[in-house]
Amino acid sequence: MDFDMKMYNKMFKYLTLLLLLSANLHLAHSQDFFVTPEYPPTAFYQQYYELRYRVRGITYPTFTFTNLPSFFTGTADGVVSGTPNITGTFKITINYSDNGTNSGSTVAVINIADSPNTAASKAQAQAVANLIIQAAADTWIYRSGDAISIQLNGNNAVAPVTWNYKNLPAGLTGDNKGLIKGAISADGSYSFSASCGDAKGQSAQSFYTLNVQPGTLIKSSSFFIQPTTSSLSQTAPSQLFTI
């Protein structure tokens, strides 16, 4: 009897362990991966810059970087470093993987501004504060399936300007000129952000919400209403209503 109880307890422990492992594996596969920092700190002209990327949900990811400017290098453990020799805004792609099991990519923007140690630092700081993203659209309310075209503008930006978007709803795309186009098929409330950076390393960010209402199809049709009371002349013409 004692032998049977020991075997039962051992089997129960193994079963519990297997269930816990299964739950952890399911959690690892079902969670969303998130690259940090989402918005890198500003770099400065002729000053050494170093930034380490991490991925929430992956303990030891391997990184590769696309479109890094020539003065920056990226390592497999997620470090971007170098000394900028120009100002400007640079959009890079961060690729990560976990031995092929989990992988993904995201886009980030690094702004390189004038050095704060120069005589122009005060003016530069004021210029950064004055870069504002404005929307030209008069309304943010649409019906599902409607064509959407939103032009964003960066006031006081010095060309060339780089645009980046986060959490654009499915069906919409944004280009590098601040134009958002497409259509949303499902009604609901959608929030996203847009950021821009210019040749001076100025940057600005703004958040938006689209209110998409259900699409309603109203067909135009014509029908006749005939007189029904005896007081009306039998020769009276029919009345035509159109909706």
The residue behind tokens 């821009």 is 196
Last residue of a domain, one of 85, 118, 151: 118
Query: CA dist 59 to 96, 127, 181, Å?
Result: 11, 40, 37
- The string of pLDDT tens digits covering residues 80-133 is 999 999 999 999 999 999 877 888 999 999 999 887 666 555 555 555 446 677
Residue 241 domain-assigned (yes or no): no
Query: Which pLDDT tens digit goes with each residue over 184-201?
Result: 999 999 988 888 898 888
- pTM value surpassing 0.85: no
Q: What is the pLDDT of residue 164?
A: 92
C-alpha to C-alpha distance for 199 and 155, rounded to whole angstroms = 13
Domain contains 165: yes
Residues in Cβ contact with 180 at an 8 Å cutoff, skipping those fewer than 6 apart? 148, 149, 150, 151, 152, 165, 168, 172, 173, 174, 194
CATH of the domain at 110: 2.60.40.10
Query: d(Cα 40, Cα 72) in Å, to the nearest integer?
Result: 14
Our count of domains for the chain comes to 3
Residues of the chain with pLDDT under 70: 1-31, 116-131, 134-139, 216-243
pLDDT of residue 140: 77
Position 234 in a domain: no
Q: What is the pLDDT of residue 59?
A: 83
Containing domain of residue 59, as a range? 31-118
